[in-house]
Amino acid sequence: MFTTLYKKCLNLAAHKSSKYYLALVSFIESSFFPIPPDVMVIPMIISKKNNFIKIFLIATIFSVLGGILGYFIGVFFFDVAMQIVSFYSYEDKVDAIKNSLIKNDGFYAWLGILFLAGFTPLPYKVFTIASGLIGFNITIFILTSLISRGLRFFIVSYLSYKFGHLFTQLMDKHGSKSFTIAGILIVTFGAIIYLISKSHA
């Protein structure tokens, strides 16, 4: 199933209405669809380099809007939300974070996890839905999603624009690992800055 969907997304990237399909895939991927928008973003930019900013913005904006849908699925459709979370085997982690938030000591942990989910190959959809389930602050959720998704899609878009098919080959071999390492480094750096500022407060 995943292979079929992957191939269909690749074909849609070459369609004359590819921007609309990219918006759709970016939107639904943030709440339930298994194929990431990167599958379309990279070939679209390689074939239409002058549009790389527009493609980056479409992927980012509609991904965040889809994330908001995922958030409200978590808020209003508990059974559906838990089915999606359980499919990815995250139900125990969600319960643990919810308990931490109740005790007021899990906010920054979830903030870091949410950023990683938006930036790395972690299933972002699980964390948009889980954010609604645990009642995470929606304003901070949207801002974190904008930053993490925007950063991810800008890097993918710019490198596709700059290096074309060479970047495609690198992504196939090392993409997941590279984004995961970069995301962890960013979160770690943010945590260090927070701890330093707190110690001087």
Q: How far apart, in whole angstroms, are the C-alpha atoms of residue 110 and residue 103?
A: 13
The domain segmentation of the chain, as residue ranges, is 2-9+18-199
- Please provide residue 136's backbone torsions phi and psi, each rounded to the nearest 5 degrees: -65, 145
- Residue 35 has a CB neighbour count (10 Å cut-off) of 18
Q: How far apart, in whole angstroms, are the C-alpha atoms of residue 62 and residue 147?
A: 13
What percent of the chain shows pLDDT beyond 90?
Answer: 15
Tens of pLDDT along 105-114? 567 777 777 8
- What would you report as the CA-atom Rg of the chain, rounded to the nearest whole angstrom? 17
Selection from 35, 91, 96, 111 nearest residue 66 by Cα: 35
pTM, rounded to two decimals: 0.78
Mean pLDDT of the chain: 76
Average pLDDT over residues 153-159: 83
Selection from 116, 125, 12, 29 nearest residue 74 by Cα: 125
Tens of pLDDT along 9-67? 667 767 778 889 899 999 988 888 777 888 888 888 887 878 888 989 999 999 999 99
- Give the per-residue pLDDT at 50: 80
Average pLDDT over residues 75-94: 78
Let me know: does 147 contact 46? Beta carbons within 8 Å. Answer: no
More confident residue, 133 or 146: 146
Residue keyed to tokens 């500022």: 197
